A and B are shown apart, each in its own frame.
Chain A
Amino acid sequence: MASEIIVRRRKRQRMERLWLPALYLAPTLVLLWAFDIYPIFLSAWMSLWRWGIQPEEFIGLDNYIRIFEQIGSRPGGAPGEVGQSLMVTGFYVLGTVPATIVIAFVIANLLNSKVRFLGALRTAYFVPYITSTVAAGLAFVWLLNPQVGVLNSLMEWFGLPAQQWLLDPEPIVPKLLGAVGIGWPDGAPGFLAGPSVALVCVMAFSVWNTLGFAVVIILAGLITIDPQVKEAARMDGVNSWQMATRITMPLVSPTLFLLLVVSTIRSFQSFNEVYVLTSGGGYGAGAGSPLDSTLTLPVLIFRHLYERPSSVGFAAALSMLLFFLLLIVTLVQFRFAERRVHYD
Chain B
Amino acid sequence: MALHTIENKTAETTRTRSPVGPPKKSARAHAAQRWRRKASRVVLYGALIAGAVVMLFPFFWMISSSLKTFQEVNLSPPTMLPSDPQWSNYAQAWEGPPSGFGRYFLNSLIVAVLGTALQLVTGITAAYAFARMKFRFNNLLFLVVLATMMIPFEARIVPNYVLIRQIPLTGGNDLLGEGGSGLYDTYAGMILPGVAGAFAIFLLRQAFMAVPRDYWDAIRMDGASHWTFLWRVLIPMTMPAVLTVVLFGFIGRWNELLWPLIATQSESIRPVQLGLMAFSGDEGSLYHLLMAATTLVAVPGIIFFLFVQRRFVEGLTAFGVKG
Q: Are B294 and A122 in contact (CB under 8 A)?
A: no
Q: Are B199 and A20 in contact (CB under 8 A)?
A: no
A319–B51 Cα gap in the complex (Å)? Answer: 37
Q: Are B2 and A338 in contact (CB under 8 A)?
A: yes
Residues 288-314 of A at the B interface (beta carbon under 8 Å): 298, 301-302, 305
Query: Main secondary structure on chain B at its contact with chain A?
Result: helix
A213–B13 Cα gap in the complex (Å)? Answer: 28
**Given known A28-B201, A130-B301, A136-B58, contact A342–B10 (CB-CB < 8 A):** yes
Q: Kindly specify which of B94-102, B172-180, B307-315 makes contact with the partner chain.
A: B307-315
Q: Which residue of B lies closest to A212 (CB)?
A: B55
Q: Are B305 and A327 in contact (CB under 8 A)?
A: no
Q: Are A148 and B76 in contact (CB under 8 A)?
A: yes
Q: Is B221 an interface residue (CB 8 A)?
A: no
Q: Are A27 and B125 in contact (CB under 8 A)?
A: yes
A342–B8 Cα gap in the complex (Å)? Answer: 9
**Given known A217-B244, A232-B19, A327-B150, contact A115–B44 (CB-CB < 8 A):** yes
Query: Main secondary structure on chain A at its contact with chain B?
Result: helix
Q: Is B93 an interface residue (CB 8 A)?
A: no
Given A16, A126, A271, A344, which contacts B11 in the complex, CB threshold below 8 Å? A344
Given A21, A39, A213, A335, which contacts B155 in the complex, CB threshold below 8 Å? A39
Q: Kindly specify which of B82-90, B104-112, B235-243 makes contact with the partner chain.
A: B235-243
Q: Write the nearest CB–CB distance from A255 to chain B, whole angstroms.
A: 6
A253–B14 Cα gap in the complex (Å)? Answer: 13
Q: Write the nearest CB–CB distance from A281 to chain B, whole angstroms.
A: 8
Residues of chain A within 8 A (CB-CB) of B323 are 224-226, 229, 251, 344
Q: Are A132 and B276 in contact (CB under 8 A)?
A: yes
Residues of chain B within 8 A (CB-CB) of A37 are 144, 148
A21–B152 Cα gap in the complex (Å)? Answer: 29
Given A21, A129, A330, A338, which contacts B135 in the complex, CB threshold below 8 Å? A21
A296–B226 Cα gap in the complex (Å)? Answer: 45
Residues 22-80 of A at the B interface (beta carbon under 8 Å): 24-25, 27-29, 31-32, 34-40, 42-43
Q: Are A131 and B58 in contact (CB under 8 A)?
A: yes
Q: Is B302 an interface residue (CB 8 A)?
A: yes
Residues of chain B within 8 A (CB-CB) of A335 are 1-2
Interface centre among B62, B133, B159, B238 (most CB of A within 10 A): B159
Residues of chain B within 8 A (CB-CB) of A172 are none
A24–B231 Cα gap in the complex (Å)? Answer: 13
Q: Are A35 and B196 in contact (CB under 8 A)?
A: yes
Q: Are A131 and B62 in contact (CB under 8 A)?
A: yes
Q: Are A326 and B150 in contact (CB under 8 A)?
A: yes
Q: Are B240 and A224 in contact (CB under 8 A)?
A: yes
Per-position binary interface string of chain B over residues 7-41, scored 1 when its CB falls under 8 Å from any chain A CB and 0 otherwise: 11111011001111111000000000000000000
A322–B149 Cα gap in the complex (Å)? Answer: 12
Q: Kindly specify which of A91-99, A106-114, A156-164, A185-193 makes contact with the partner chain.
A: A106-114
Q: Write the nearest CB–CB distance from B122 to chain A, whole angstroms.
A: 5
Q: Are B244 and A220 in contact (CB under 8 A)?
A: yes
Residues of chain A within 8 A (CB-CB) of B77 are 148
**Given known A226-B322, A258-B203, contact A323–B244 (CB-CB < 8 A):** no
Residues 129-158 of B at the A interface (beta carbon under 8 Å): 129, 133-135, 138, 141, 143-156
Instruction: Knowing that A35-B156, A216-B248 touch, tell me 13 more A-B residue pairs with CB under 8 angstroms.
Output: A16-B226, A24-B125, A28-B125, A31-B192, A123-B305, A134-B280, A216-B247, A217-B203, A228-B19, A254-B209, A327-B147, A339-B5, A343-B9
Contact surface of B with A, Cβ cutoff 8 Å = 1-3, 5-11, 13-14, 17-23, 44-45, 47-49, 51-52, 54-59, 61-62, 65, 76-78, 121-123, 125-126, 128-129, 133-135, 138, 141, 143-156, 159-160, 163, 192-193, 195-196, 198-199, 201-203, 206-207, 209-212, 226, 238, 240-241, 243-244, 247-248, 251, 255, 273, 276, 280, 287, 290-291, 294, 297-298, 301-302, 305-306, 309-310, 312-313, 315-316, 321-323
Which 4 pairs show the lowest CB-CB distances between chains A and B?
A139-B58, A232-B19, A31-B196, A124-B52
Q: Could you jot down 9 A-B contacts, CB within 8 Å?
A: A28-B196, A32-B145, A35-B160, A127-B59, A128-B58, A138-B65, A223-B312, A334-B2, A342-B10
